[in-house]
Structure 1
Amino acid sequence: MTEAARAAAADPAGTRLPGDVPLDVNGMPHGQPVLDSLVALLDLERIEENIFRGVSPASSPVRVFGGQVAGQALVAAGRTVPPERRVHSLHAYFIRPGDPSIPIVYEVDRTRDGRSFTTRRVVAVQRGKAIFSLSASFQVDEGGIDHAEPMPEVPDPETLPTFGEQIGPLIDKLGRAQPRPIDVRYVTEPPWVSRENGPREARSQVWMRADGVLPDDDLLHVCIAAFASDMTLLDAVLARHGVYWGLDNVNGASLDHAMWFHRRFRADEWLLYDCASPSASGARGLATGRFFSRDGQLVATVVQEGLLRVGD
């Protein structure tokens, strides 16, 4: 475990950030120190050859954030794979709510090591029970056919208000007053705003990037994207029904999560996250997302089904 990881384990909420840490319009820390805390959170402690341990921020809600456990599990898988093999897909299930007050143990099964592909399975465990499982596939770089859908036309991220500027009037009610390592700028109207006008198109578009500079580590950039992919994906489902977390009687949780990584990217550069919901039924909502780099390259695709119980 690195010194940064030890510091995060001792103070995972980043409450002892430097005195000159930048604050947003709501007085909450952001920028490089907060991003460094996330990087440290992903720097798992190796207990045995195939067993790792991670912690959660002290400022976590009542259960572990899904993007965190997905990112940590992918780190665990990647640390058992040669660096020249890059992750190209992951498929995961959220089995039980995670308890942020205790560590999470990640057990890696080295399923297969082929000539071109490597497969790993990871189970996240707390109190002797599985809370999350992930299968990931890694591949050596190969050439081949190449095409992709074009990026939608959207405004530049610099022209859009920050998350803090948009959420400000509702920050106390929504409970978003905590350090944010990901800079998020809504292209579409934020769901907590659009709900005032009732249901709208089942779509959500945001620009996002790690709020600082990351090391040149392909796996880390992918894990940061996996973390961020769970932040706004279900917004597309909620928008279709004019409701939002904390403002309406909505309860939900991620059920499963899949990602495909098509091209290399940097998570500390702007990525457009274009999300849509093709269907919701049976107290579940399906959402799809596409990550585009600033120059229009489709770099990743995401699919998630979430549990969504909406009351009167």
Structure 2
Amino acid sequence: MIVVTGGAGFIGSNLIRALNDRGESNVLLVDHLVNGQKMHNIADLDIADYLDKAQFIEKIETPHFFDKVRAVFHQGACSSTTEWDGQYVMMNNYDYSKRLLNSCITKNVAFIYASSASVYGNGKHGFRVDRSCEHPINMYAYSKFQFDQYVRHLLPETRSAIAGFRYFNVYGPREQHKGEMSSTAFHFNRQIIEQKKAKLFEGCDGLANGEQRRDFVYVDDVVDVNLWFLDHPEQRGIYNVGTGKAETFNDVAQAVTDWHGEGSIEYIPFPEHLKGVYQSYTQADMTGLRQAGYAKEFLGVKKGIAKYLDWLNREQ
């Protein structure tokens, strides 16, 4: 059996879809369906069983629970970057992850987990998987960073298959439940349909309007990396998962209007509350992933968004 925590979420549900495409349906989906809208992400998936996160946590350390499990994809977390209840965030993202990892090590179960590019904070020191670049600036990022630190201490002491991925700006199918936290591609698509205009922030940090840059990565590429590490358990460590190429929000909006064959771009005032805490630039250093042996190329914004909108607008 394969366990996917956060299995009804964005990346988790896409992982299960890809496992199904491989003929793998012996999947335990773990989630916390307070937001019942997430059921739309999993209605077309084949799984063996479902457990609420609270039930799953109760079972983690029971003697034989992991006897038939061969891998855990740990995608579940409190992902809100505005949650400042540190005790809550650390309990959900750090303590839970530690307990799950240690149980996997005890049973020699592969543990593949979601970290976050948010550990790099404002990015002033770069985006390498290196302690000198890491400076989280919110509780979510800190919880992810501290778990990475825990993994770093454990890796030399075990030969278990452990891989963590610092996701950059992921977009693609099955993200609609995220509301305001959905990708800009999702929001621009809706804006073009409803208003014929994609709304972008004006420039900041000395950049022209819409010229802020992010490393936008398509969810299918993220899933492929996860599955590659499932197939290559000898590769262990923490890795960036982006494209390695920063592209502008103008590029994203243009890709959306190109797909629709209509629409324009409107620049709106940069929000006051984001000044000084906004990432104007992110770009994954992909050295570690390439050195591990992952050679597949990643989709750029133009091709990735076209693929996404083919799916998204068919589903409307």
Same fold, judged at TM 0.5 (above): no
**Scaled by the length of structure 2, what TM-score is found?**
0.30
**Scaled by the length of structure 1, what TM-score is found?**
0.30
Report which of the two has the higher share of helix. 2
Report which of the two has the higher share of strand. 1
